């Protein structure tokens, strides 16, 4: 499947129209997070820029005793913003944990997922979570059982829509059979530096599911999931060259590239500062020409071939 030059200012998740660029709120609560004033200012800057999708999770925290830190933060930020935040769709996730030593755990037990979803709803201050996502399949739990718990949550009215994260094509198809219309999105890692999940993006396009690439700026910017010792990202990529030619940031070019891959794609770049999310949000209005996209693709394929040699 090839990219097109069409870039839209909005995307659709289920029956909800949202901004074409969302805010990945994870960096506001994990290691290296800003103070609360800056974190809330970053959320407000996103809303000012027209962002109407915020992605969070109960496991987006730093220390072991602060489960739900990011959900609490988002709830406070939206409340402080006032009525202008009424149309914001908040997506959260359950099924992972953070012991506080920098590692991640996974728990897809249906009992845990049901408890986690109810606790997330309380922290977010909502009767029903807009979009609830299985954060990662648990190899110790049958996938169908974890997904079945999400269907129960939807049927009970605890969540409005259901999503999956870190899944493969077979798991998407299995979940589709179990969840039916409740399944609306898939959130997988995807970026210029990580295209191994392209098959899941294409499947989402075919099935009418929204594809939320996490860490979408991989290869362009460091993300909250990068190892602090991994060094700075490259600054000599085709995206940087095109950004200089267009007079915009390489991050904007990268996000516009994402949007051009499919009408199903809705990037959720992270941000720790108001300036970062303002710049990212502006990518929704940046249209790359067919020639520019083709040039990025040719250079990108060449780079992948060099890596395989």
Distances (CA, A) of 225 to 27, 64, 270: 9, 17, 10
Identify whether the C-beta of residue 231 lies closer than 8 Å to the C-beta of residue 246. Answer: no
Active site includes 60?
Answer: yes
Q: Which of 60, 81, 132, 182 is catalytic?
A: 60
Around Cβ 286, how many Cβ atoms within 10 Å?
A: 18
Backbone angles phi, psi at 16, to 5 degrees: -105, 130
3-state helix, strand, coil in the chain (%, to 5): 45, 15, 40
3-state secondary structure 22-58: CEECHHHCCCCCCCHHHHHHHHHHHHHCCCCEEECCC
What distance in Å separates the CA atoms of residue 194 and residue 100, rounded to the nearest whole number?
27
Active site residues: 60
């Amino acid at each position: 499947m090839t990219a097109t030059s069409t870039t839209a200012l909005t995307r659709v998740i289920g029956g909800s129209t949202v901004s074409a660029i969302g805010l990945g709120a994870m960096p506001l609560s994990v290691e290296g997070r800003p103070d609360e004033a800056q974190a809330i200012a970053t959320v407000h800057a996103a809303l000012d820029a027209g962002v109407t999708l915020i992605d969070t999770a109960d496991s987006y925290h730093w220390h072991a005793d602060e489960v739900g830190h990011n959900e609490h933060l988002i709830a406070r930020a939206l409340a402080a913003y006032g009525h202008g935040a009424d149309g914001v769709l908040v997506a959260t996730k359950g099924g992972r944990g953070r012991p506080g030593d920098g590692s991640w755990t996974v728990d897809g037990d249906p009992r845990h997922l049901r408890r986690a979803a109810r606790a997330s709803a309380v922290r977010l201050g909502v009767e029903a979570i807009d979009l609830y996502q299985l954060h990662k399949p648990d190899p110790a739990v049958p996938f169908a059982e974890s997904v079945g718990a999400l269907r129960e949550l939807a049927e009970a009215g605890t969540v409005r829509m259901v999503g999956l994260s870190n899944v493969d094509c077979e798991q998407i198809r299995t979940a589709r059979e179990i969840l039916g219309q409740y399944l609306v999105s898939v959130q997988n890692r995807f970026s210029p530096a990580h295209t191994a999940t392209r098959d899941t993006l294409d499947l989402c396009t075919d099935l009418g599911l929204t594809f939320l690439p996490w860490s979408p700026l991989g290869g362009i910017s460091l993300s909250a999931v990068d190892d602090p010792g991994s060094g700075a990202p490259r600054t000599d990529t085709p995206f940087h060259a095109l950004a200089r030619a267009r007079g915009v940031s390489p991050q904007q070019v990268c996000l516009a590239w994402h949007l051009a891959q499919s009408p199903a794609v809705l990037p959720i770049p992270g941000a720790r500062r108001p300036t970062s999310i303002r710049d990212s949000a502006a990518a929704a209005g940046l249209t790359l020409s067919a020639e520019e996209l083709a040039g990025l693709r040719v250079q990108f394929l060449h780079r992948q071939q060099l890596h395989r040699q």
